[in-house]
Structure 1
Amino acid sequence: MNSAASRFPFLHRVVRPALPASGAMLLAATTLTGCGLFGQSWDVKLEVTGTGQAEVGYSFSGETGQTKAANESLPWTISQNVGFGFNGLAVRHAPPGTACRVYVDGELRESQDKPDAEGTLSCSVNLQEE
C-alpha cells in the first residue's frame, strides 16, 4: 500500500520560515527609535497649575494609552525623556484659574489657561524628527 505520506514525505512536516536576521534588526530598530534610543530624544514635562483638585489624563510618545489620575492635588507635574511622537495632557473638573502646559527641553511649547464651562482643558505637542 502506497500512501500519500510515503510518496510525499514533506506533507506531514510544517515548515516555518524564520525571520531573517536583517528583518529582525529592522523591526527592533524601528521599535526602539520611537523611544529615542536611536535618533533624537526630548525631555518633556507636563504640568497643571492651580489650586484644588482635578482629574488628569496624560500620555507620552510611545505609549499606547492614556494614564488617568482622579482627584489629583494641584499643582501637578510629570516628566519623561521621549522619542518622536504625540505627548498630551487633558484636565477635567478643573477649578477656575487652572492651566495646563507642555515643556520640551525646558521651553514652553503649549499652554492653555482657560478651562471651558465643564472645567476641561488640554495641551499637546507632537514631536518630529528634525
Structure 2
Amino acid sequence: MKTFQADGFPKLLVTAAALSLTVLPLSGCGMFGASWDVKLEVLGDGGADIGYAFSGDNGGKTERGEALPWSKTQNVGFGFNDVGVADAAPGTSCRIYVDGKLRDEQRGPDADGRLSCSVNLQD
C-alpha cells in the first residue's frame, strides 16, 4: 500500500481526523435524525434542589440550593428529558418546553416538597 505524505503526516490520517471532528459533534445534536430544543424550567419563590437530565446524558446533574426561577436549554435527539425538584416551597412548579411548546407542567410539590416533569421525545 502506497502512503502519501502531507507535511510529514499521512493524508489518510489527517483526512480521517478532520472527518471525525466534523461528524461526531453533529451526531450528538440529532443531525442524523430528529432534534429538538428542550427547555427545562422551575418557577417559584426561594430556592430548591434541582436534578435534571437531557436526552443523551450519561446520568443526570444535580444543582443544590438553586435560586428560583431556574432554567436550562439544550438541543437534543431522541430520548427522555426530565427535571425533578426537592425541598420546594408551596407554589413551586416545573415545566418542559419542546421547540417552544409546553409539553409538561406540574404545579405544587407533594407533602415532602418534591415534584417532577418528564418528556420522552420520539420520531
Normalising by the smaller structure, the TM-score range is: 0.7 to 0.9
1:60 aligns with 2:54: yes
Q: Which amino acid aligns with 1:84?
A: F
- Between the aligned partners of 2:59 and 2:41, the Cα distance in structure 1 is 19
The root-mean-square deviation of aligned C-alpha atoms, in Å, is 1.8
- Between the aligned partners of 1:35 and 1:111, the Cα distance in structure 2 is 25
1:98 aligns with 2:110: no
Query: 2:35 — aligned with what?
Result: 41
> Larger Rg: 1 or 2?
1
- What is the TM-score when the length of structure 2 is the normalising length? 0.77
Query: 2:112 — aligned with what?
Result: 118
Structure that is richer in strand per residue? 2
CA distances 1:73-123 after superposition (whole Å, capped 9, x unpaired): 000000000001000000000001100000000000000002000100000
Query: 1:82 — aligned with what?
Result: 76
- Between the aligned partners of 1:60 and 1:120, the Cα distance in structure 2 is 19
Return the offset for 1:37.
2.1
- Between the aligned partners of 2:99 and 2:29, the Cα distance in structure 1 is 16
Helix, strand or coil for the counterpart of 2:30? coil
Report % sequence identity. Answer: 61
CA distances 1:56-81 after superposition (whole Å, capped 9, x unpaired): 00000000101000000000000000
4+ long deviations beyond 2 Å:
none
- Between the aligned partners of 1:82 and 1:37, the Cα distance in structure 2 is 10
Return the offset for 1:35.
3.5
On the 8 A contact 1:35/1:61 being kept in 2, the answer is no
Which ranges in structure 1 are unaligned for 5 or more consecutive residues? Answer: 1-27
Q: Tell me which of 49, 59, 64 is aligned to 1:70.
A: 64
- How many residue pairs end up in the alignment? 101
On the 8 A contact 1:45/1:103 being kept in 2, the answer is yes
